Amino acid sequence: MKVSGQFQSEETAGHYAAVKSYIETCYRNGINEVAALTRLCNGNPYTVKEIFADSGE
């Protein structure tokens, strides 16, 4: 949770950064963000190998 423009703890900031990075990586490689978040919430996130395989790199 953010308080007055900053996070309450480093742990919370770390969680936010990890999810933000995951979403951004998926987006930049052509994976729908909602699909990526759905998989993440279901405990089956895209792996780096899957992300880059889907992008054709």
Q: In the predicted model, is pLDDT for residue 55 greater than 80?
A: no
Whose structure tokens read 């480093």?
10
Q: In the predicted model, is pLDDT for residue 2 greater than 60?
A: no
Give the Cα separation of 28 and 34 in Å (integer): 14
pLDDT at 56: 57
pLDDT tens column, 6-43? 888 889 889 999 999 999 999 999 999 999 999 999 99
Element (H, E) at 6: strand 6-7
Residue in 51, 43, 44 with CA at minimum distance from that of residue 21 = 51
Domain ranges for the chain: 7-55
